[in-house]
Amino acid sequence: MFSLTSPLILASQSPRREQILRMLGFEFSILPADVDETIPSGMKAPDVPEALAKAKSLHVSREHPEKLVLGADTLVVLEDRVLGKPSGTQEALQMLSFLSGRTHQVYTGVALAMGGKIVGSGTACTEVTFETWNKDVLEAYVRGGESLDKAGAYAIQGQGAFLVQGIRGCFFNVMGLPIQKTLRLLQPYQRP
């Protein structure tokens, strides 16, 4: 259904992003970009994922200028506090306690590069509302080990689904790739 005029590279090592792009029916190869993911000082949180997505896609595009390169970055934000991947079980538990019973925002930025230049980019936001859970339950979840490599210390597509009361927006954006933004970026390169 979705067939492109140029080969596509996904500049990400996230198995979730790979899964979503395959689910949509795209063919692509994977080449993670090795870029500095430090949040630039002075930049507002919602602007960060798009900036990092651009950096990732540009990095890979310079090596493969004849291909389309899709980069993405996901950030969890609650009350102006940015939650990245937790440093360990202790920080994971702190993050989940902070998210419990509240609504947070998940921003994913996407960028498409070709010939060493950005040809399109955007950001999508999904609101995620957590149920209220006590410390014992959150500790049991963290012990399961799923939290440690996830922004915000939970996986909405894993056992962590039990934490979530509901969402508003694109589900796959929370997993790491906003569907409509991604389709719109690739639209000009669709085979008719």
**Applying CB under 8 A, which residues contact its own copies?**
1-2, 20, 23-25, 126, 131, 137, 140-141, 144, 156-159, 161-162, 164-172, 179-180, 183
Question: Smallest distance, Å, CB 73 to its own copies?
Answer: 20
Beta-carbon contacts of 64 under 8 Å, excluding residues fewer than 6 positions away, are 9, 31
Say whether 73 is catalytic: yes
Question: Smallest distance, Å, CB 116 to its own copies?
Answer: 29
Pick 61 or 173: Cβ nearer its own copies: 173
Pick 117 or 168: Cβ nearer its own copies: 168
Question: Smallest distance, Å, CB 27 to its own copies?
Answer: 13
Catalytic, out of 73, 80, 136, 149: 73
Tell me how far the alpha carbon of residue 51 is from its chain's centroid: 13
Task: Give whole-number Cα distances, 113 to 13, 59, 107, 121, 156, in Å.
Answer: 17, 9, 20, 9, 29
Question: Smallest distance, Å, CB 169 to its own copies?
Answer: 5
Pick 51 or 164: Cβ nearer its own copies: 164
Pick 45 or 137: Cβ nearer its own copies: 137
Total residue count of the chain as it appears in this document: 192
Residue 130, token pair as written in the block? 């957590």
Question: Smallest distance, Å, CB 143 to its own copies?
Answer: 9
Which position has the token pair 């719109």? 184
Pick 109 or 178: Cβ nearer its own copies: 178
Task: Give whole-number Cα distances, 47 to 77, 79, 89, in Å.
Answer: 12, 15, 28
Crossing angle (nearest 10°) for helices 135-143 and 89-99:
140
Q: What's the N-to-C CA distance of the chain in angstroms?
A: 10
Structure letter (DSSP) for residue 40 = P
The residues carrying an active-site annotation are 73
